[in-house]
């Protein structure tokens, strides 16, 4: 099965990116072949709906699971429609999170935050 993880840089040793929609890259790792590819997240710089676009990119990679620290409601809807399961990552590196996932140690991610829709209520 292929799994995807948001990455800050193109390295398996880097930490999981805290923001899913705005992550610069996604690692797509194949648990059978143990191959990994870095996919650029073209949604990262777009206006609004970044989570939806990012989820679309991941779904198009044919992955079965997404490992991420958090996820918005809209993106979660895309994942659900695409039959992609979500797992919550921890503070360790991408590599360690994949190992934990393979051992079945990552919990399912079940709470999603509401989108912000690019709103600006002003201030800081």
Partner 1 sequence: MKIAVLSGKGGTGKTLVSVNLAAVAAPSTYIDCDVEEPNGHLFFKPEIVREELITVKIPQVDEERCVGCRECVRFCNYNALAYVNQKLIIFDDVCHSCGGCVLVCPEAALSERDKAIGKIEIGVSGDVSVYTGILNTGEATGIPIIHRLLEEGSDDGNKPVFIDCPPGSACIVMESIKDADYCVLVAEPTLFGAHNLNMVYELVKLFDKPFGVVLNKCLNEENPVDQFCSDKGIEILGRIPFDHELASLNSSAEIVAHKQDEYRELFSSLLETIVKKMGESAGSKRDGVLSDLKKMSGDTVSGERGEALHGSHSTCSDGSVKGVKPKEVRSEAAVDS
Ranges of H-type helices in 27-87:
50-60, 73-81
Per the listing, tokens 């958090």 go with 70
Q: Is 108 or 114 the residue whose CB approaches partner 1 more closely?
A: 114
Query: What is the footprint of partner 1 within residues 48-67 (CB under 8 A)?
Result: 48-50, 52-53, 55-56, 59
Which residue lies nearer to partner 1 by CB, 24 or 46?
Answer: 46
Of the pair 9, 73, the CB lying nearest partner 1 is at: 73
How far, in Å, CA of 122 to CA of 108, rounded? 35
Q: Is 45 in the site for partner 1 (CB under 8 A)?
A: no
Stretch that binds partner 1, among 22-30, 33-41, 79-87, 98-106 (CB under 8 A): 79-87
Longest dimension (CA), the chain: 49
- Please give the span between the terminal C-alpha atoms of the chain, in angstroms, as a whole number: 43
Distance CA 47, CA 44 (A): 9
Sites of contact with partner 1 (CB under 8 A): 43, 46-50, 52-53, 55-56, 59, 74, 77-78, 81-83, 114-115, 117, 119-124
């Amino acid at each position: 099965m292929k799994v995807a993880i948001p990455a800050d840089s193109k390295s398996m040793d880097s930490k999981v990116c805290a923001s899913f929609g705005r992550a610069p890259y996604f690692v797509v790792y194949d648990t059978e072949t143990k191959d990994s590819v870095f996919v650029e997240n073209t949604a990262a710089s777009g206006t609004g709906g970044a989570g939806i676009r990012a989820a679309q990119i991941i779904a198009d990679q044919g992955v079965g699971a997404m490992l991420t620290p958090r996820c918005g409601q809209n993106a979660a809807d895309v994942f659900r429609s695409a039959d992609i399961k979500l797992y919550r990552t921890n503070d360790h590196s991408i590599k360690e999170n994949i190992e934990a996932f393979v051992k079945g140690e990552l919990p399912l991610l079940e709470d999603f935050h509401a989108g912000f829709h690019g709103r600006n209520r002003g201030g800081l």
